[in-house]
Structure 1
């Protein structure tokens, strides 16, 4: 059943791009469990790349990224690119791309006029 679900929703497309956020949204209907998924993805990626599972700082330094220990979009994209490069010729395939790097922007909190906050 799960393979049918995966195939009918074309989730391999997003896997090939390393876009775990889109896959999570399509499976869970939102971002439920996304932080846990990114944590697991980070640990296994680091191990496959020859690092300790908790050594994000060293990976970031080696990739000339901002060394902050935060596994944000740029670090995840660098991990995906490094993982693809482990298989000779894989990076040259046209369907293999890194997920787009996007930075989340804070949404301003709307401020209501004082007159609306006063008790009626």
Structure 2
């Protein structure tokens, strides 16, 4: 079922009190499992260098250095950084595309495509 962009039916708008809004924000923040600053933590632990190609980064291009979750689980963020590795955007893309290529070459049933 698609999303409707029709205006709401006339009637009394449902307004929330400030206390209800504050509680909603607290609940939503509590549901976040990954620390918001795991990128900062990873940069401090592993340095400003790509773990795959060895490219070093400076402040002006640091946005090109990303955090890769080794086990693929973005919710698993141990404070020691054992599930992270800093990869440049190019190596990060390569890391994620490897499994796609392997799946394609193996085919759905495990036999190689010809």
TM range (shorter): under 0.3
Look at both structures and tell me which one has the larger radius of gyration over its CA atoms: 2
Give the TM-score, by structure 1 length: 0.25
Q: Which has the higher strand share?
A: 2
Give the TM-score, by structure 2 length: 0.26
Q: Which has the higher helix share?
A: 1
